[in-house]
Amino acid sequence: MSANKVIIFGVTGVQGASVARALLTNPKFSVWGVTRNPASKSSQEMEKLGVNLIKGDLGDASSYADALKGAAGVFLNVNFWAHYKGNNADEARDIEMAQSNAAVDACKAAGVGLVVYSALESVGKFPIPHFDAKAEVVKYIKAQGVPATILYSSYYFTNLLSAKLEERGDEIVLKLPLPDDTVIPAFNPNQIGLFARLAFENPQEWTGKDMFACGENVRVDKIASVLSDLSSRKYVTMGVSRDDFLALPGEMDQELWLNYRAFVDGLMSRNPEESRKLVPEVQDFTTWVKADKDAVAKFGLRS
Ligand SMILES: NC(=O)c1ccc[n+]([C@@H]2O[C@H](COP(=O)([O-])OP(=O)(O)OC[C@H]3O[C@@H](n4cnc5c(N)ncnc54)[C@H](OP(=O)(O)O)[C@@H]3O)[C@@H](O)[C@H]2O)c1
């Protein structure tokens, strides 16, 4: 096994690129990334940073299996949304699971030292296919006895960059259809690499353990008040009641609604202070929104 070779699936994506950037700060790692298209703009950007590209497709394990041989580590994140067309959540879940399990098999066959798997949990009360796929893969990893760290992520702060804003008189309504007191366990996904790097740097400590990445359990009304405090605008929430929210299916994407319902029902639990003990620089909402150029521009924040 090459002591320091780490291979990242999804290296051109949000999570994978974060892992690549974090590992590249430590010269002991040789950083490799799987992409379907090494010629794409995002692949080329990663190559310029120092990532060695591997042409491979998660839908065909034979395309990347040889490249895994001798790797000390693999970061595995499989994108549910690539297979989701709005009405086929169960099919997308099954494809995500099949692709993920095939990658786990390939890691096992190649003798990879540590798999860091980007996970979500099943919430139990109702199915959420894009959470459940990942929870099933966690079971598979454990059943296969593959050395792994399960890295549970949270809602991306960056999702707010695509939230709709509606001007209403001198107020701006943040179009998040959630009750004001909804708590969203969230983080800056561009920091997930700091968590993954910790595991790859200390595999003896992290093999067989769970890790949670969260920057803040942020309330919906706090998001609006922070945006107001940091700008000269008055941001308000939609003022949705729990009953309004429960009546929404049919009016919004079902998979996203289920994800929101996990927050509304308080079914996703994260402890940001524990995350901060691992990665002291993990950002809370205020720190993220002030530092993110796109957020500053979108929300008209004072510089
Ligand atoms: N949004 C949230 O709040 C949130 C929170 C927690 C977890 N998540 C989870 O995060 C996952 C998405 O991760 P992300 O945000 O990093 O995705 P992303 O930025 O959309 O990137 C997707 C990546 O997947 C790769 N990919 C897609 N299909 C592939 C295939 N067949 N073979 C190889 N690579 C493939 C792409 O690589 P190429 O195009 O270069 O091949 C790209 O690097 C989802 O499963 C979602 O459930 C999201």
- Per-residue pLDDT of 19-63, as tens digits, reads 999 999 999 999 999 999 999 999 999 999 999 999 999 999 999
pLDDT band at residue 251 using 50, 70 and 90 as cut-offs: confident
Residue 266 located in a structural domain: no
CA of 243 to the centre of ligand 1 (A): 33
Among the atoms of ligand 1, which is closest to the Cα of residue 12?
43
pLDDT of residue 83: 96
Number of folded domains in the chain?
A: 1
- Counting from 1 in the atom list of ligand 1, the atom nearest the Cα of 16 is 16
pLDDT, residue 199, reads 98
What is the DSSP-derived secondary structure letter of residue 51? P
152: enclosing H helix or E strand: strand 148-152
Residue-wise pLDDT for 235-244, tens only, equals 999 999 999 9
- Per-residue model confidence (pLDDT) at position 248: 86
Is 301 inside any structural domain? no
Q: Give 53-63 pLDDT, tens digit per residue.
A: 999 999 999 99
Confidence category of residue 219, pLDDT binned at 50, 70, 90: very high
Establish if 221 belongs to a structural domain.
no
Mean pLDDT computed over 265-276: 98
Q: Is 158 in the pocket of ligand 1 (CB under 6 A)?
A: no
Residue 3 has pLDDT above 80, yes or no: no
Residue 212: both structure tokens together: 């949670």
Both structure tokens of 99: 């692709």
Pairing of strands 5-9, 210-212: unpaired
Does 165 map to a domain? Answer: no
Task: Provide the pLDDT for residue 91.
Answer: 98
Q: Of all protein residues, whose CA lies closest to atom 10 belonging to ligand 1? A: 79
Residue 137 included in any domain: yes
Average pLDDT of 123-134?
98
pLDDT tens per residue, range 135-193: 999 999 999 999 999 999 999 999 999 999 999 999 999 999 999 999 999 999 999 99
Task: Tell me, yes or no, whether 248 lies in a domain.
Answer: no
Between vectors from CA 135 to CA 198 and to CA 258, what angle results, nearest 5°?
Answer: 110
pLDDT in tens, 282-302: 999 999 999 999 999 999 999
pLDDT, average across residues 6-14: 98
Check whether 106 has a pLDDT greater than 70: yes
pLDDT of residue 1: 53
First to last CA, the chain: 48
Q: Report if residue 160 sits inside a domain.
A: no
Q: Which domain holds residue 59?
A: 5-155+187-212
Residue 4 sits at φ, ψ, to 5 deg, of: -125, 10
In a domain, 253, yes or no: no
**Ligand 1 centre distance from Cα of residue 208 (Å):** 24
Q: Which atom of ligand 1 is nearest to the CA of 15?
A: 16
For the Cβ of 30 lying below 6 angstroms from any atom of ligand 1, the answer is: no
SS3 199: helix
Q: What is the mean pLDDT of the chain?
A: 97
Judge if the beta carbon of residue 93 lies within 6 A of ligand 1: no
Composition of the chain by helix, strand, coil, percent to 5: 45, 20, 35
| Statement: residue 303 has pLDDT above 90 | no
> What is the percent of the chain where pLDDT is above 90?
97
CATH number at residue 207: 3.40.50.720
